[in-house]
């Protein structure tokens, strides 16, 4: 399985489409256990990241993903911008100068991304955040062919499991026990991101 520069571009474009289509829903999830802006944050960030992709002619995957990271960090207010931005930035370091990635190389980037989210967010999995999708997806990719159609099912199932968790980080943690029985907005947007990856690989 080779992940080409074109697959990675399609990943960003497809992720943007999904963030636009789920903008209201993501903000609704954030209304229940946050400040109701997650859909707007993600939609604004990914739109800008994709515009940047179209304007620039990045020649390798590292610079493509680094440009997306910098856009997410600068355009998205709120916790999620720096967290997604850090994830992409750490991954881009691993992918520097490459115009295609083997599954192992892709996995290395994802490992760095997850470490980046943990450090930046001072978070671990199980705390009802985006990490509760990123970590199981990473584990899945470490052990399965990334092209397998189960990738988005894995992301979806992980996102759904955040419903029963108590929030330990971010605004949702202010809700304490009341955060239980709501899906984490950042877990939902992360599910969309990995569903977009599965679709980009499938085309």
Backbone angles phi, psi at 34, to 5 degrees: -160, -145
The residue within the footprint of ligand ADP, chosen from 11, 169, 183, 200 (CB under 6 A), is 169
Residue 116 interacts with ligand ADP (CB under 6 A): yes or no: no
Does 72 engage in binding with ligand ADP (CB under 6 A)? Answer: no
Q: Which of residues 139-168 bind ligand ADP (CB under 6 A)?
A: none
Please, what is the minimum distance in Å from the beta carbon of residue 133 to ligand ADP?
9
Size of the site for Mg ion (CB under 5 A): 6
Sign, CA dihedral 151-20-49-75, equals negative
For the bound state, the minimum distance from the C-beta of residue 23 to Mg ion, rounded and expressed in Å, comes to 13
Is residue 126 within 8 Å of residue 160, measured between CB atoms? no
Q: Which residues pair with 150 in a beta bridge?
A: none
Look at residue 63 and give the partner it binds from Mg ion, ligand ADP, none, a contact being a CB closer than 5 to 8 Å depending on partner kind.
Answer: none
Number of residues that bind ligand ADP (CB under 6 A): 25
Residue 9 gets which letter from DSSP? H
CA distance 20 to 166: 28
List 187, 192, 193, 198, residue binding ligand ADP (CB under 6 A):
187
Could you give the CA distance from residue 79 to residue 171 in angstroms, rounded to a whole number?
9
Residue in the structure block whose two tokens are 């605004």: 171
Residue 3 binds what, of Mg ion, ligand ADP, none (CB under 5 to 8 Å, by partner type)? none
* E strands present in 23-180: 100-102
Tokens 């991101």: give the residue. 193
Cβ-contact 143, 198 below 8 angstroms = no
Answer for which of 130, 155, 192, 197 binds ligand ADP (CB under 6 A) is: 130
Structural tokens at position 139: 């584990």
Does residue 45 touch ligand ADP according to CB under 6 A?
Answer: no
Interacting residues toward Mg ion by CB under 5 A: 30, 34-35, 37-38, 78
Give the interface with ligand ADP as residue ranges (CB under 6 A).
30, 34-35, 37-38, 41, 78-80, 83, 117, 121-123, 129-131, 169-172, 184-187
């Amino acid at each position: 399985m080779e992940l080409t520069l074109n697959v990675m571009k399609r990943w960003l474009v497809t992720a943007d489409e999904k963030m636009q289509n789920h903008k209201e829903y993501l903000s609704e999830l954030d209304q229940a256990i946050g400040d109701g802006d997650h859909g707007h944050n993600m939609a604004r960030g990914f739109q800008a990241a994709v515009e940047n992709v179209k304007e620039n002619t990045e020649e390798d995957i590292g610079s493509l993903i680094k440009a997306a990271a910098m856009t997410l960090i600068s355009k998205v207010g709120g916790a999620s911008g720096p967290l997604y931005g850090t994830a992409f930035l750490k991954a881009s370091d691993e992918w520097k100068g490459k115009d295609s990635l083997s599954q192992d190389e892709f996995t290395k980037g994802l490992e760095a991304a997850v470490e980046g989210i943990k450090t930046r967010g001072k978070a671990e999995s199980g705390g009802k955040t985006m990490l509760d999708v990123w970590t199981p997806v990473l584990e899945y990719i470490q052990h399965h062919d990334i092209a397998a159609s189960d990738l988005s099912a894995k992301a979806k199932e992980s996102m759904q499991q955040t419903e029963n968790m108590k929030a330990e980080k971010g605004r949702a943690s202010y809700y304490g026990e009341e955060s239980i029985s709501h899906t984490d907005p950042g877990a939902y947007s992360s599910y969309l991101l990995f569903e977009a990856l599965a679709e980009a690989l499938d085309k």
